[in-house]
Amino acid sequence: MTETAYLENGRTIEYLPEPIGEGTMKEVYFTQDRESVLCFYKGDINKIDPKRLERLRDILKKFNPSVGDKKHADYWAKLFCWPTGIIVKPRLGVITPVYPSNYFFASGRWKGKEKKARWFVSPKLRQLLPVEEQGSWINYFKICIILARAVRRLHTEGLAHSDLSDNNVLIDPASGQALVIDIDSLVVPQIFPPDVDGTPGYIAPEVLATAALRVLDTRKQLANIRTDQHALAVLIYEYLLSRHPLRGPKVHSTRSAEEDEQLSMGEKALFIEHPQDTSNRPKEGLPIPVTALGTTLTELFYKAFIKGLHSPYERPTAYEWERGLIKTWNMLHPCPNPKCTHQWFVVLPEENTIRCPFCQMAIHQPIPLLTLRSEKRPGHWLPEGQLVIYHGQRLFKWHVFDNVFPGPDVDREPQAYFSFHHHRWLLINQTLTSLTSPNGNRVDIGKALELKAGVKIRLSQEAHGCFAEVSMIGGV
Amino acid sequence: MSIRRLPVYLLLDCSSSMTGQPIEQVRQGIRALLDDLSTEPMAIETVYLSVVTFNSTAQQVILLTELMQFKEPQIQASGATALGAALRLLKDCLNKEVRKNTIDQKGDWKPLVFLMTDGMPTDSWEAAADDLKQQKIANIIAFAAGPGADVNNLKRITEIVLKSDELSPGALKAFFKWMSQSIVRTGKSVQVMAQETPIDLPPPPPQIQIVP
């Protein structure tokens, strides 16, 4: 027995009459082939939101990056579960593809359940999952980059997701992939307002602080791009550090837990790692402080949770997060301890001893660090970024050229690799046609160059080619 | 940093009128409730469950227990309907087990209590009911299962009263299903609730009506 739904474009779809899920706004059904789901709005949506149909039409076409950006359509299609059609009968709704199979647990007690991010960021829940589902820390790092990129893509179009949370992002830590879901409530400022205030824990403080005000009250703050930026920062902090940035011990009301929570996440929200005001710092201490993630990310988190916490326009943009995460990715080093829970860590070059913050194991030999410089004005070579070198590290085009950004369409072919060979650090050229040694000689493809402190290497003589300056760090 | 708990108390009438299919339906209902809740990450993290049964006396058969540690209680139907004893015991449990909000402790969420009864109280219960209603230390949801229960009595305990016209397996099953939806909804929205607003419960299934 199936029922029939009618799409706006005239198509009909057979679906199974038993609902498979229910949210605040929608009721969800499988199509007969189980390859898509139908989400019907509950109640009289036209009364709640008369512009809903218009909004859906825009979301499906105008705002869909897989339609508007043909070149990267496949890339964006993997990051968003975008609706594919509008249902007009029996009720208004959308049809969306079923999530790819890697977003459902393949084994364990919760086999078949969606991999909502909550399962992975809560230490209590994570330990209940099969080990193979838990994923490695570097994959959470990858997920952060993907998520920042996905949110950046929405924001570039002027769209806000409006309800980014551990509930509306599916992640697969085993493969390091993420999928943004619940796209149909996208918000366009001044045109399509948000449906909901958001999900507890991810709602921006200004929205929570004014949540009790009536809809027409002009002081009421609604979800928008800045509130997405808050939620994004919370998610990134949770993925990398497995804790919530604002949930500390500080009590703001003894009247009730509900009132205390309202203040702790809203008006009185305070970063648990605020360097001056330590009143919300967990009493048991923090196993890994945010500073272990390096200066770039520390600054972004301070901007998000100190300066920008109550000043929405000061929050880092999704693009800043994407850049900052990629910059920090270049600072990752494998942990020498095979039993380390995290396996990778961020190198802090200013420390005398390079040490994994997760297991405390130190690396006692000095390791090379490349400082990449690009010619911003003729004759002016300014630092572009840094790259930590380890055995097997590779050099990509975005390291070689200052005008290449590791975005969706970048060439991911390694240009050279690094090797620790007979107690020497070597750079081995794979494809670079004008790699130049410090004494001005070309280094041919297949040939190596030794990395020593102070050595300057021209990675390419072509336009936008960078210099790499070697320093040896740590070793104490 | 310990997470706030959502304490949930089930107050179940196990008097002799529940004998047979109804008590079996309650056992299955508890099992289904556990199955439902244990697929919800939020519930696994925050929900703590306790069961209080009442017949000629009242007893807390399961102390407030973390969801994943919870073992189904053995429950039997027999005896009278000591609702008063159950309400007094509930108050003791709430006072003893629920973490208070103090200046140096993040306390528990306001507890949820589901009271299910199919008959008239056989002990003195009025004072205990007035006391609970006045103190507002929990969100109590009372369910009059079948024609034997008096909704006006339950209204004296809480504003939120539901009823089904018959004590059928379908109604009990529906009540437990709705209970799990209510717990999940409360757990997810609890943080955006202002102090005095009533809790936001999902609409009950067709067999069950809200008593206005």
DSSP character string of B33-89: HHHHHTT-HHHHHHEEEEEEEESSSEEEEEEEEEGGG---------S---HHHHHHH
* Distance between CA atoms of residues A385 and A371, nearest Å: 6
From chain B, the residues in CB contact with A105 under 8 A are none
Cβ atoms of A179 and A100 within 8 Å: the answer is yes
Restricting to A residues 308-337, those with a Cβ less than 8 Å away from any Cβ of B are none
- Residue in B39, B102, B191 closest to A261 by CB: B191
> Cβ contact (<8 Å) for B107 and A257?
yes
Q: Which two tokens stand for residue A191?
A: 């045109």
Asked whether the beta carbons of residue B195 and residue A256 sit closer than 8 angstroms, the reply is yes
Per residue in B167-209, pLDDT (tens digit) is 888 888 888 888 888 888 887 765 445 445 567 788 788 888 8
| Nearest chain B CA: its distance from A265 CA (Å) | 9
Residues A60/A110, Cβ–Cβ less than 8 Å: no
Kindly report each contact of residues A35-38 with a partner whose C-beta sits within 8 Å and lies 24 or more positions away, as own/partner: A35/A97, A35/A98, A36/A84, A36/A95, A36/A96, A36/A97, A36/A98, A37/A95, A37/A96, A37/A97, A37/A98, A38/A5, A38/A13, A38/A87, A38/A93, A38/A94, A38/A95
Q: What pLDDT does residue A182 have?
A: 82
Rounded to two decimals, the ipTM of the complex is 0.87
Q: Are β-strands A169-172 and A93-97 bridged in parallel, bridged antiparallel, or unpaired?
A: unpaired
Contact A199 B188 (CB under 8 A): yes
Angle between helices B21-37 and B169-189 in degrees, nearest 10: 30
Nearest-Cα distance to chain B for A324, in Å, is 28
Q: Which segments of A114-272 does DSSP mark as H helices, in order?
A: 118-121, 123-126, 131-134, 137-156, 205-209, 225-241, 257-265
> Average pLDDT per run of 10 along chain A, which is 476 residues long?
92 92 82 92 74 85 80 88 90 92 92 92 91 93 97 91 90 95 78 75 90 79 91 97 95 89 92 97 93 97 98 97 96 95 94 94 95 90 93 96 89 95 95 92 94 94 94 90
A351, A364 Cβ separation under 8 angstroms: no
Quote the pLDDT of residue B2.
Answer: 64
Judged by CB atoms closer than 8 Å, whether chains meet at A260 and B101 is answered as yes
CB < 8 Å to B108, chain A: 257
Closest CA to A342 of A356, A328, A353, A331: A356
Closest by CA to B25, choosing from B172, B134, B192, is: B172
Smallest Cβ–Cβ distance between A119 and the set B38, B41, B108 belongs to B41
Predicted confidence at residue A27, as pLDDT, reads: 87
Which residues from A are below 8 Å from B191, CB to CB? 200-201, 258, 261-262, 265
Distance from CA of B186 to the nearest CA of A (A): 11
Chain B residue set in contact with A, beta carbons under 8 Å: 1, 3-4, 38-39, 41-42, 44-45, 68, 101-110, 188-195
The predicted structure's pLDDT at residue B190: 52
- How far away is chain A from the Cα of B39, in angstroms, using its nearest Cα? 7
List chain A residues with CB under 8 Å of B44: 124-125, 128
Q: A262 and B192: CB-CB below 8 Å?
A: yes
Say what the pLDDT of residue B197 is.
Answer: 59
Torsion angle of the four alpha carbons A251, A268, A206, A325, in this order, in degrees rounded to the nearest 10: -90
pTM above 0.95, yes or no: no
Gyration radius of chain A's alpha carbons? 25
**CB proximity A208 to B under 8 Å:** yes
Picking from A104, A111, A119, A124 by the largest number of B CB atoms within 10 A of its own CB, the best residue to mutate is: A124
Interface residue A408 vs chain B (CB under 8 A): no
Partner residue opposite B103 with nearest CB, options A118, A199, A254: A254
Which residues, other chains included, contact B141 with Cβ-Cβ below 8 Å and sequence gap of 6+? Answer: B112, B113, B114, B115, B158, B160, B161, B162, B182, B201
pLDDT of residue A44: 74
Please give the helix or strand (H or E) that residue A359 lies within, else none: none
**What does residue A72 show for φ and ψ, rounded to 5 degrees?**
-110, 20
Looking at the complex, does the CB of residue A249 fall below 8 Å from at least one CB of chain B? Answer: yes
d(CA A235, CA A148): 10
Average pLDDT over residues B73-98: 95
Q: At what angle do helices A295-302 and A225-241 cross, to 10 degrees?
A: 130
For residue A266, the model assigns a pLDDT of 92
Among B191, B197, B200, most A C-beta atoms within 10 A, so best to mutate, is B191
Residue at A111: amino acid letter: K
Distance from CA of B185 to the nearest CA of A (A): 9
Task: Please work out, in degrees rounded to the nearest 5, the angle formed at the alpha carbon of residue A81 by the alpha carbons of A78 and A83.
Answer: 130
In angstroms, rounded to a whole number, what is the distance separating the alpha carbons of residues B194 and B198?
9
Across the interface, whether the CB atoms of B106 and A258 are under 8 A apart is answered no
Residue A369 has a pLDDT of 97
**Inter-chain touch A261–B1, beta carbons under 8 Å:** no
- pLDDT value, residue A53: 85
**In degrees rounded to 5, what are phi and psi of residue B35?**
-60, -45
For chain A, domains (ranges, CATH) are: 1-73+80-98 (3.30.200), 102-329 (1.10.510.10), 347-473 (2.60.200.20)
CA-to-CA separations, A28 to A2, A58, A81, B23, B32, in angstroms, rounded? 14, 22, 15, 33, 21
From B205's Cα to the closest Cα of chain A, the distance in A is 14
Nearest to A169 by CA among A199, A195, A134: A199
d(CA A450, CA B130): 84
Task: Select the residue from A171, A195, A258, A273 to test the B interface by mutation, using most B Cβ atoms within 10 A.
Answer: A258
Average pLDDT value for residue range B63-92: 94
Domains of chain B: 6-193+203-211 (3.40.50.410)
Burial of A35 (0-12, 13-18, 19+ CB in 10 A): exposed
Distance from chain centroid for Cα A467: 30
Q: Which residues contact A70 (CB under 8 A, 6 or more apart)?
A: none
Tell if the CB–CB gap between A124 and B45 is shorter than 8 Å.
Answer: yes
Q: Region B58-78: what's the mean pLDDT? A: 94
Instruction: Cite the beta strand spans of A173-313 per DSSP E.
Output: 177-180
Residues of B in contact with A200 (CB under 8 A): 188-192
Mutate to test the interface with A, among B181, B192, B201 (most CBs of A within 10 A): B192
